[in-house]
Structures are given as C-alpha cells and as structure tokens.
A = this chain, B = another copy of it.
Amino acid sequence: MEFTEAELHQLEALTSTKRTFLRGDYLYHSGSKFESLFAIRTGFFKTQVIHEDGREQVTGFQMAGEIIGLDAISTDIHTCDAVALEDSEICELPFNRLEELSRQLPTLQRHLHKIMSREIVRDQGIMLLLGSMRAEERLAAFLLNLSQRFAARGYSASAFKLRMTRQEIGSYLGLKLETISRTLSNFQESRLIDVQIKSIELLDMTRLLGLVGQQRFTPI
C-alpha cells in the first residue's frame, strides 16, 4: 500500500485519538450510538451479544492489529458489547472521516472493503465450526487459531496465556464450561497440550491439526 506524504498526514490525523482501557472496561455497549471503528494497538478484547433472556454469546476475541465495531455500521447502533480482557490501548477511527478519506484514497477504500469482507469470512468459518464440528475439533481449531494469531504478532506459536475464562471459550465455541475443562484435560492426558489454568503449551501441533483435519480448517 503506497501513500503520498500528504495522504499519510491525513491518515495520521484520522488515527490520532488513542485511549487506554483496563481489564473489564467496556469499549462500547450494545445499543450505544455508533461513531467510530476501533483499531486495537495493544491488548485483548472480547465481543459478546446478550440475549433478552440473559443468554450471552461471545462472538469473537480480538487482538492487536484487528478492527472492532464493523457490525454497527449497518444500523448506526452497536449490536454487541466490546470488553477488554486485559489492559489495552486502542485507536479510535471516526467513521465519517474514514469514509470521506476512503473516497479520496482508493487504496484505503479497497483496504476497508477487504477488512469487512474478512470479517464475513471469519464469521462463516465459525458458523462451519459451530454447525459441523464436535467438541474436540472445535477446541483444537480454537487453540490452533490462537497459536497462528500469536505467531503472526511475533509471539510463540506453541506457548501462550489464555486471556479468557473457560466459560468465555465455551460460549464462543457453543459448549459449556465443563466440556471445555474436560476436553482440555483429555488433550493433556493425550499429551497433545500442557495446560496450567491459563497457560497453554501446544505439544503436538501435527496431531492437533489432524483432529481438525477432516474438516476444512478456516482461520477463525
């Protein structure tokens, strides 16, 4: 992606508003008015939908470099909560100015479209997972996806800390927290992983991939 100096200046102006969030803080609430997208600079978030009856569903875990808030464009109202799972720094992108700038910069426009499309593909990957995988396959896919994303950010692909609880993993994967706990224990028993509460080490990635293997492995 190539920009002129003047364009870079505009982009910089767009991304100048930065804010920090502590663990547990809400980036936005479901129902609140949509003004901006948010780029995560550092940290870790979850997005969740709360059903009227109290059921909650985690719809995603987002880490540094990812864009959050795309769902709100459709109605100008946020359709989910975004909650920091660790202390985080975000960069606010006022959407009106983003649209304006992307009319001037075709490269930025194309980039924005690809980001939105990637979110659609990601969601369809999770639909696949929820619709056709069993507990072991879902959890293996989840761990491998986290591994990939940590590796892409320069962290270890085989050892990392979970930022979320068993309950949140379960909600995301359409399983109960007890099932997550049991399946992790089984993986440990089978020497696939080593797990100490929040610390995960992937011991045999080949066999983990094999668990997901018969299914199509789409990055989450």
Against B, the Cβ 8 Å flags (1 = close, 0 = not) of A66-108 are 0000111111000110000000000000000001001110100
Cα-based distance from A132 to B175 in the complex (angstroms): 8
Number of A residues near B (Cβ < 8 Å) is: 49
A126 is an interface residue with CB less than 8 A from chain B: yes
A109 is an interface residue with CB less than 8 A from chain B: yes
| A216-B124 contact, Cβ under 8 Å, with A73-B117, A74-B114, A114-B73 | no
Interface pair A128/B214, CB less than 8 Å apart = no
Interface pair A99/B110, CB less than 8 Å apart = yes
Nearest residue (CB) in B for A50 is: B216
Nearest residue (CB) in B for A172 is: B131
Q: What secondary structure prevails in chain A residues at the interface with B?
A: helix
Q: How far is the CB of A120 from chain B (nearest CB, A)?
A: 5
Cα-based distance from A68 to B214 in the complex (angstroms): 28
For A123, what are the chain B residues with a Cβ–Cβ distance below 8 Å?
A: 120, 123-124, 127
Interface pair B99/A131, CB less than 8 Å apart = no
Interface pair A127/B59, CB less than 8 Å apart = yes
Q: Per a CB cutoff under 8 Å, which of B54, B57, B217 touches A127?
A: B57
Cα-based distance from A116 to B102 in the complex (angstroms): 16
Interface pair A213/B51, CB less than 8 Å apart = yes
Q: Per a CB cutoff under 8 Å, which of B79, B110, B121, B217 touches A71?
A: B121
Since A53-B216, A131-B173 are in contact, a sample of 7 more A-B pairs with Cβ atoms closer than 8 Å, ordered by chain A residue number, is A49-B124, A51-B216, A54-B217, A70-B116, A116-B120, A123-B123, A130-B130
**Listed A/B pairs (10) with beta-carbon separation below 8 Å:** A53-B214, A55-B217, A59-B124, A59-B127, A70-B117, A72-B117, A74-B118, A74-B120, A126-B127, A130-B130
